[in-house]
Chains A and B, each alone.
Chain A
Amino acid sequence: ETGVTQTPRHLVMGMTNKKSLKCEQHLGHNAMYWYKQSAKKPLELMFVYNFKEQTENNSVPSRFSPECPNSSHLFLHLHTLQPEDSALYLCATRGSGRGNEQFFGPGTRLTVL
């Protein structure tokens, strides 16, 4: 238990659907990250938020839209996804109190049909 939760844990959606992934933390961390883990590929950074402001977009297609309404919540809104977007999406947080250690959520396993 890392203190970072993600919902849903599993999601199956069609290419025309709109869905959202949610990440929640009550660790008091100021930095939040979205990562994508595809089969047989390393984890890839998608977005970084610091103090609710987006500070990094790693050339992510616009069909992925992040939102950070407050310091405890991070969303990833999904629309018109492609089958190749099927992957494990991981949220992580980082606080200044323990250096640069990142705390990961359990991930959302996304399947796009």
Chain B
Amino acid sequence: KNEVEQSPQNLTAQEGEFITINCSYSVGISALHWLQQHPGGGIVSLFMLSSGKKKHGRLIATINIQEKHSSLHITASHPRDSAVYICAVGGGSNYKLTFGKGTLLTVNP
């Protein structure tokens, strides 16, 4: 069973700061996902990556397969970035996801 650890659990930042959220997993995977969950519950997929780096706007995700580690970076953070960010790793015949506990990010104006 894959263990997914995220850090930090909670993160408070001032608007404009550079944010990093980390994710480590224990077993080899097909892909790693970064998800965003706003209050109210809905989950949006931000990135799915199996190697290297991806960028979308102010968000950057990196993964190191050898070290079984991924990071999500947010540049020039904004209060609307406040949400729970969830790391999940996927694999297997049904492509099952195993989730981390999430990181609650609060960006203050």
Contact = CB atoms under 8 A, between A and B. Distances in A.
A62 interface: no
Interface residues of A, number: 27
The size bracket of the interface on B is 20 to 34
Interface stretch (B13-21, B55-63, B68-76, B94-102): B94-102
Contact of B99 (A43, A88, A94, A107): A43
B41 A42 contact: no
Contacts of B101: 40-42
A68 to B, nearest CB: 14
Contact of A106 (B41, B48, B90, B94): B41
Interface in B42-91: 42-45, 48, 86, 88, 90
A100 B95 contact: yes
Nearest to A50: B94
Contacts of B86: 42-43
A56 B41 contact: no
Contacts of B44: 2, 104
B30 interface: yes
28 contacts: A2-B42, A31-B94, A42-B86, A42-B101, A43-B97, A48-B94, A55-B93, A55-B94, A56-B96, A94-B95, A99-B31, A99-B48, A100-B30, A100-B31, A100-B48, A100-B90, A101-B45, A102-B45, A102-B97, A103-B45, A104-B35, A104-B43, A104-B44, A104-B45, A106-B42, A107-B41, A107-B42, A109-B41
Interface of B: 4, 30-31, 33, 35, 40-45, 48, 86, 88, 90, 93-102
